Structure 1
Amino acid sequence: MSAGASPSGKPRAAVARCSDDAAPGAEEKPLPAAMGDTPPEAKSPAEWAYQRMILYIQNFEEQLDNEHEVAMGFTGSDAGVLRIEGIGYFDPDIVTFYGTDTSGAKTQLVQHVSQLNVILRAMPRKPEHKEPYRIGFRLVADLERDAQDTPGTK
């Protein structure tokens, strides 16, 4: 058993809250099958960070109203905010976020997993969109589809 897994082979996670009324965190929800079928130690640091970021984004979006979308603030700089429109990884250790900044300029963050610091923020949805864009749900669906398309997975 690895240091990051429970006796069942599933990754360990925990959360402590000040209020019993708080919305559940991503750590408290079951993993999608596509993530749980492969033990964390069999994944690269980039793949495992990518998959967990998807869960955090989806959980954050579940708590937003229809007037807001998920964005990320940059830690340690004054680069501003990136409206998350995509996320990817490159084995063994790179995670990247794609999107636009508040002025609409194309923006991409490429980051080593050891430096991964993300602030998820609620950003007003684009005025031209009637509904907010929910990337987290699309990303989880992509994980599930990719698991079905990969030989040797369930």
Structure 2
Amino acid sequence: MTEIPSAGRSTARDRWVAWLFIVGSSLFALGAVPSYVEAVGLRLCAATFFVGSLFFTGAAFLQYREAVDALAAVGATRRRSLWVWAPRNLVWPAGAVQLAGKLWFNWSTGNALRDNLSAEPTEQRVWRPDALGSIAFLVSSAVADAESGIHRCLGSCGPGN
């Protein structure tokens, strides 16, 4: 049987996820400050965004692993593989889609570091992955919201409730 930590108890993984998101968000906020861009230049500012995206991806990977580890054990074995397929458990696709979105942001922020990109490569290497990442985050959020609604309503939702 898989044991899931109680809602009130924080795990080391939860703290890592929080800190990785905090550092990534801080780097994105720093990169958006005009005086920072003026002080360090466009290239270092782009590097700031890229490093921030790596912290986000680390947090998303840990969240994905949390979803995988929370899946019911198959037989008597726990899921130890890096990648699993569990689309019927809504927590899993929410984490997997979010991780894909983070990887698209890694791709786009990494390509933004390139010098002298013309308009067409910029569209293909920076803006399209950003759009795909944004769509992935919206899908992930919708799936997570649907999953939370399912758990909220188990046994108590119905007509008149």
Give me the TM-score of the superposition, normalised by structure 1: 0.32
Comparing both structures, which one devotes a greater share of its residues to strand?
Answer: 1
Comparing both structures, which one devotes a greater share of its residues to helix?
Answer: 2
Structure ID, larger Rg: 2
Give me the TM-score of the superposition, normalised by structure 2: 0.31
